[in-house]
Amino acid sequence: MKEANRTKHYAVAVIAAAAGVLLDQFTKYLAITKLKGEEPYILLKGVFQFEYLENRGAAFGLFQDQRIFFFISVAVICAVVIWFYVKVPMERRFLPLRICAVMIVAGAFGNCIDRVRLNYVVDFFYFKLIDFPIFNVADIYVTVSTFALVVLLFFYYKEEDFERIFHRRK
């Protein structure tokens, strides 16, 4: 692939990740301004509501107040995902992998911004019916993309695809 075309793909990925972070931060701004200090906003009684939560841990409240752990985790995750993104051929067949990579980075940065700015992550989606932990848009990016990535790697891509990703020559 021509270097200019590859650079264009990288630029689109950066813009998409930035757009994802902006959407995440905007929804968190709305949660802070509309939900903080208020009763939950019920959309479907007993099923789904918006409920403000300041999460000082990771997913499901794990690792409470472990800021250094989170910053190192974001750096490592982003480095691995960017390395992977660069290795993936710029072909339509591999577009789902690149999209997953972009969304994982957007989610990691979205929550990292909260930790730097607020010392906690703003969560506000709550599925009361199943008592699922309260979450946010960045969490959706990371969770859905990671699940999709696992499904793609185990069920869609073949051994020759992995050879092309991990053993291609420049």
65, 114, 131, 139: the catalytic one is 139
Query: Is 123 designated active site?
Result: yes
Integer Cα distance of 2 and 146 in angstroms: 29
Q: Which amino acid is at 102?
A: V
114, 123, 131, 161: the catalytic one is 123
HSE of 94, CA atoms in CB hemisphere, 13 A: 19
Q: What is the layout of strands, in order, in the sheet containing 41-44?
A: 41-44, 48-55, 121-127
Integer Cα distance of 17 and 102 in angstroms: 6
Tokens of 156: 């869609």
In the chain, where do the E strands start and end? 41-44, 48-55, 121-127
SS3 46: coil
Provide φ and ψ at 51, rounded to 5°: -140, 120
Handedness of CA 2, 7, 10, 11 (dihedral sign): negative
Catalytic annotation, residues: 123, 139
